[in-house]
């Protein structure tokens, strides 16, 4: 009898994400939940998992790490990988609150539009991340900075924005171009030099008006994750994928939340399937999500 595909889903939260559970089952996994897990408990779970299956069983076994904190998720990811004892190794994927696959989808979609409409790469682009202190915004900032963009993380408080920026730079090596924190009330000044906007604020909040979009004389692409009315970026529709922003005076195009969501869904599904289909253990995080997302745009 063939052994079942078992995905051990670890989270430091009290519940797993229902979204992630659905995705796991749809990708062919049987999900096994581990809730309220502490960082120091990860290694024990991993070793119990790998030592209880044969070589063939290991190919049908995986670890998924969720939660809401991207940095804790990466700590758990590294703890899981470190706990493997060759040849007892299995695939590990981390995607806290879908932040990594969502950020990857957004950055990939923007990269595609920059190339198609302007013939440019992300390198050297001035990017502001509105609501950038959350896991999706911070993940997108790291990805863009690693590609050579000059990124500013915007939050309600400059201290928090700076803390997030410094933490990302320290942990993920984005010091070359840098991620800088700034308070959201400085956005009007920043817009004058902005090439790209990532809107990753809370749902149901408009963060940019038509007047602000019109003032952004260098704007090329704006992406919004908010699917709850009103739109986070005024005039940007749910399904937009490279359509012109009506209020833009620079010919900028927009990418809506459902266009990004479709890429995110395909990316997460592909990563979950890759975990068992390649025949070898994979260690997958935000950079691998971006590689997959670039093939889905």
Is 3.40.50.720 the CATH classification of the domain at 99-260?
Answer: yes
Backbone phi, psi, residue 62, to 5°? -145, 165
Q: Determine whether 251 is exposed, middle or buried from the number of CB atoms within 10 Å of its CB (0-12, 13-18, 19+).
A: exposed
| 6-94 against 99-260: fold identical | yes
- CA 4 vs. chain centroid, Å, equals 29
Question: What pLDDT, on the 0 to 100 scale, is given for residue 177?
Answer: 46
Contacts 24+ apart (CB under 8 A), 32-35: 32/6, 32/7, 32/8, 33/9, 34/8, 34/9, 34/10, 35/11
**CATH level 2 (architecture), domain 6-94:** 3-Layer(aba) Sandwich (3.40)
Label the pairing between strands 126-130 and 30-34.
Answer: unpaired
Every domain of the chain and the residues it spans: 6-94, 99-260
Question: What pLDDT, on the 0 to 100 scale, is given for residue 176?
Answer: 39
The series of mean pLDDT values per 10 residues for the chain, 297 residues long, is: 92 96 97 98 98 93 97 98 96 97 99 96 96 94 95 88 90 68 84 97 94 97 96 96 97 98 98 96 98 98
Question: What pLDDT, on the 0 to 100 scale, is given for residue 182?
Answer: 77
Label the pairing between strands 61-65 and 91-94.
Answer: parallel
Question: What pLDDT, on the 0 to 100 scale, is given for residue 178?
Answer: 52
In whole angstroms, what is the distance from residue 150 CA to residue 172 CA? 15
Query: What is the value of pTM for the model shown?
Result: 0.95
Question: What pLDDT, on the 0 to 100 scale, is given for residue 185?
Answer: 81
Question: What pLDDT, on the 0 to 100 scale, is given for residue 115?
Answer: 97
Token pair, residue 45, equals: 């779970």
């Amino acid at each position: 009898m063939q052994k079942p595909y078992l995905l051990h889903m670890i989270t430091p939260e009290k519940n797993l994400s229902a979204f992630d559970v659905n995705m796991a089952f749809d990708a062919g996994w049987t999900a096994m939940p581990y809730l309220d897990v502490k960082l120091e408990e990860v290694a024990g779970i991993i070793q119990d998992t790998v030592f209880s299956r044969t070589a063939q069983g290991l190919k049908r076994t995986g670890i998924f790490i969720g939660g809401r904190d991207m940095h804790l998720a990466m700590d758990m990811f590294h703890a899981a990988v470190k706990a493997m004892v060759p040849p007892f190794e299995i695939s590990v994927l981390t995607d806290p609150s879908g932040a990594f696959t969502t950020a990857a989808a957004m950055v990939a979609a923007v990269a595609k539009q920059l190339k198609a409409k302007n013939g440019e790469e992300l390198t050297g682009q001035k990017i502001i991340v509105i609501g950038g202190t959350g896991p999706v915004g911070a993940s997108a900032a790291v990805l863009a900075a690693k590609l050579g963009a000059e990124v500013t993380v915007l939050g309600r408080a400059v201290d928090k924005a700076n803390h997030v920026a410094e933490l990302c730079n320290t942990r993920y090596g984005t010091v070359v171009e840098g991620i800088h924190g700034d308070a959201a009330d400085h956005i009007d000044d920043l817009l004058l030099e902005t090439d790209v906007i990532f809107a990753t604020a809370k749902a149901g909040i408009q963060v940019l008006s038509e007047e602000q979009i019109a003032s952004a004389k260098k704007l090329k692409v704006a992406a919004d994750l908010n699917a709850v009315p009103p739109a986070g970026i005024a005039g940007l529709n749910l399904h937009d994928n490279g359509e012109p922003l009506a209020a833009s005076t620079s010919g900028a195009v927009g990418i809506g939340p459902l266009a990004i969501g479709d890429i995110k869904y395909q990316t997460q599904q592909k990563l979950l399937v890759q975990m068992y289909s390649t025949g070898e253990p994979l260690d997958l995080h935000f950079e691998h999500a971006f590689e997959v997302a670039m093939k889905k745009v």
